Amino acid sequence: MKTTFKKLLVAGLLTATAAYSSMSQAIASVSVRNRVLVVVAELDSRGAPELSALYSALEELTQVTVQGVLGDKYDRIDILTGGRATFPEFKRVVKEFSRDPNVLAIDVIMSVHGAPGKLAFQDLTWKTTDMEAAMLSVSSRQDTIDKMRMKKKLRMIYNTSCFGASHRQNFLNMGFKVANGSIGVNANSEVEFVPALMAWRSGIGFKDSFNASNNDFALALADGPLQIAGRAAGNSLAKVNSRKLFSGAVTMKINSDAR
């Protein structure tokens, strides 16, 4: 009798555990209809005039690539370019998405020029400490509610700007669960961007999405010639270091819960 009771008890616990596990997985998964992507693509207006054609092409490539690779993986993609590629507009869009009850995860691709602790938007260059303060500032009860919602829903930020590694902590403080960035001048976007987005869309963890381009061999091919040329010419190319550093929930996937 006792043996039978124990078997029934164990069977019941196993069933309950399986049900809980299944329910947890369902809760932890964010579907396409509940996730959005914000892209800031502004390279042309703040770049060197002699590279205007290159930066214009990169801006266009960013938009086309994001839509082509991730268009069916997000409910909405808002690409901020030209006059919309400002920090106030970025803040407004993120806050607006955070207020939408159907949005459970907000991802960001930041494709702008950068410097240590700074990002160059279309109108102004912002210190990332000031960006953090502005995103988290509150002056009313509604602001407090908005901040709590935003911090709950912000998820991944892929930062292609130069010196992006120096921006990671500020983005984590804003509420992003995982952030990355290059150690120095970022010069490998042409070989990194598409494979990273393809891996991310397929369900690979965020950090592992960069394995193909963020290794010693690939970085030597992308950065080596530019570093040599920069040292010879004594210009900024000497500071090329496209190696990405990661902070936060590095195993985050495209369908992971943002909480």
CATH code, 155: 3.40.50.1460
More confident residue, 88 or 233: 88
pTM of the model: 0.85
143, part of any domain: yes
pLDDT per residue as tens digits for the range 163-217: 999 999 999 999 999 999 999 999 999 899 999 999 999 999 999 999 999 999 9
pLDDT of residue 26: 37
Q: Report the C-alpha gap between 227 and 55 in whole angstroms.
A: 20
pLDDT greater than 80 at residue 45: no
71, part of any domain: yes
Instruction: Find the mean pLDDT for residues 40-56.
Output: 67
Structural domain harbouring 151: 32-184
For residue 210 the two structure tokens come to 């960069």
Q: Report the C-alpha gap between 213 and 198 in whole angstroms.
A: 13
**Positive or negative CA dihedral for 164, 169, 172, 177?**
positive
245, part of any domain: no
Instruction: Select from 178, 80, 98 the least CA-distant residue to 136.
Output: 98
Q: Report the C-alpha gap between 202 and 73 in whole angstroms.
A: 10
DSSP string, 43-69: -STTS-GGGHHHHHHHHHHHHHHHHHH
Q: Report the C-alpha gap between 214 and 255 in whole angstroms.
A: 23
Q: Structural domain tally of the chain?
A: 1
pLDDT per residue as tens digits for the range 233-254: 788 777 899 999 999 999 999 9
